[in-house]
Amino acid sequence: MANLGTDRVKRGMAEMQKGGVIMDVVNAEQAKIAEEAGAVAVMALERVPSDIRAAGGVARMADPTIVEEVMSAVSIPVMAKARIGHIVEARVLEAMGVDYIDESEVLTPADEVYHLNKKDYTVPFVCGCRDLGEAARRIGEGASMLRTKGEPGTGNIVEAVRHMREVQAQVRKLTTMSFDEIMTFAKELGAPYEVLVDIKENGRLPVVNFAAGGVATPADAALMMQLGADGVFVGSGIFKSDEPAKFAKAIVEATTHYQDYKLIGEVSKGIGTPMKGIEISTIKAEERMQDRGW
Amino acid sequence: MTKVGVLGLQGAVREHVRSIEASGAEALVVKKVEQLAEIDGLILPGGESTTMRRLINQYGFLSPLQQFGKEGKPIFGTCAGLILLANEIAGQDQPHLGLMDMKVERNAFGRQRESFETSLKITGVADDFEAVFIRAPYIVSVGDEVEVLATYQDAIVSAKQGHFLCSAFHPELTNDHRLTQFFVKMVEEAKKELAL
């Protein structure tokens, strides 16, 4: 007898992506460039985050035509984004056979109170987190993979660094706690107790945690790996750079060999100008994507 | 002590390390070609086979890995690793390492939503092995020298050819270390023979 959509199958899929780079693409041509450069998966979108930011208005799930086009163009897994709490967008993507859904703050939330009950789905989900409380809540809802929220579409790594460090520091704190301290910690974090106990017992998160939201250069990708990321999502960074194919390849290499600084220096040569980037303090509070969801 | 490497370019490396250690051998994550000289056997982990192949080419691993196998040192490929070992891949002109005489099909069970786990009988290993299949390949056909170890709904999902072993599923994702133990034993025996 075969069991579909078990935790092991859903989390395991993300384990296979470790040490790899997942790239945002908006059409088949970009998807092929990403696959050729060695991406472990692609995220099919209508617009990359920096364009979503520039365009304003309501950002929704991509046109299914784009997602299908990308799915038939590559043999690596294809992910797609659904709005936070949008049950139907998520079900549509699942029905289309998308390999992973990102319940993403890059899109305009459909529900300001509730995230999806991801345990209900056969398809696995990735969700963003800024700290251990948020990570544990998403795991509690059934997320099979996490990523930092960072600040998408900015090309500024500072928020992703903050979120990765925060989660790592809180996991370290939790693993050194005695069991009688965990319930109070759960209350402080607003985190499900059982998830924290599991992390305490295993000494690490039960799912992988990738870096996302602001990775713009090979050195940024390597920095996030060094800080303990299991892999890297690159959104606007690649196809908003001058030479996407070279840039994509360089980011893959820097992620694989994140401690080989000589190599990172080599691959960073002659790959053109990275995306321009935005200083976080110039973004109005209501335009910060990381504050969407809770 | 027997030392088993795990090709560490991309994929589920840490889980294999844990499984090798639980099977009583020493583990080494292999990121550079020179490290192949330090190990007695090698695991090619699950991950994305296209990504791994690109990294194998980039770092000049292709012929050193083939050489490693031809010297008689055991190699165990899981999922993407199985694809790397095959000498024929459906729909592709060229195989990767081409060390095992078999034809494989990628993502043969479908996309992620069709991924599953099941209990498998693996000849010489277990009657009830917890097998986790993720966007898994299967083996379409094998040559005369290949021994089929497990099938699922008529598809071949584990096989052995001399000192090469492969599985379409992920033994490293469970706490069932019997298949890894079986491989560690293969490595120990090969090490003895090669020392003669």
- Pairwise CA distance, residues A114 & A137, whole Å: 11
Helix (H, G, I), strand (E, B) or coil at A270: coil
Q: Do B51 and A38 touch (CB under 8 A)?
A: yes
pLDDT higher than 90, residue B25: yes
Cross-strand pairs, B26: B3
- C-alpha neighbours within 13 Å on the C-beta side of residue B132: 21
pLDDT higher than 90, residue B83: yes
C-alpha dihedral sign at B45, B49, B51, B54: positive
Q: Do A15 and B15 touch (CB under 8 A)?
A: yes
pLDDT of residue A235: 86
CA distance A175 to chain B (A): 19
Enumerate the H helices of A22-86 as residue ranges.
28-37, 49-55, 64-73
* Higher pLDDT pick, B35 / A47: B35
Residue B51 structure tokens: 């990504």
- CATH code, B3-195: 3.40.50.880
Q: Which of A3, A4, A75 sits opposite B107 (nearest CB)?
A: A75
pLDDT of residue A1: 78
CA distance A20 to chain B (A): 6
Q: Do A97 and B111 touch (CB under 8 A)?
A: yes
- C-alpha neighbours within 13 Å on the C-beta side of residue B79: 31
The low-confidence residues of chain A, meaning pLDDT below 50, are none
Q: Which residue's structure tokens are 């292999």?
A: B30
From chain B residues 113-132, the ones with a CB under 8 A of any chain A CB are 113-119, 132
- Pairwise CA distance, residues A191 & A180, whole Å: 16
Residues in B closer than 8 angstroms to A99, CB to CB, are 111-113, 135
pLDDT of residue A210: 98
Residue B79: active-site member:
yes
Residue B172: active-site member:
yes
Q: What is the CA radius of gyration of chain A?
A: 18
C-alpha distances in Å from residue B55, one per residue of A262, B105, B138 = 17, 21, 23
Q: Do B132 and A15 touch (CB under 8 A)?
A: no
Residue A245 structure tokens: 């194919």
Angle of helix A193-202 versus helix A179-189 axis, rounded to 10: 130
Are A37 and A245 in contact by the 8 Å Cβ rule? The answer is yes
CA B134 to chain centre: 14
Residues in A closer than 8 angstroms to B135, CB to CB, are 13, 16, 77, 99
From first CA to last CA, the distance across chain B in angstroms is 17
Q: Looking at residues B36-54, what average pLDDT do you find?
A: 94
pLDDT higher than 90, residue B196: no
pLDDT of residue A53: 87
pLDDT of residue A120: 96
pLDDT of residue A200: 97
Residue B15: active-site member:
no
Global pTM? 0.94
Are B7 and B42 in contact by the 8 Å Cβ rule? The answer is yes
- Pairwise CA distance, residues A84 & A211, whole Å: 19
pLDDT of residue B148: 98
Binned at pLDDT 50, 70 and 90, residue B155 comes out as very high
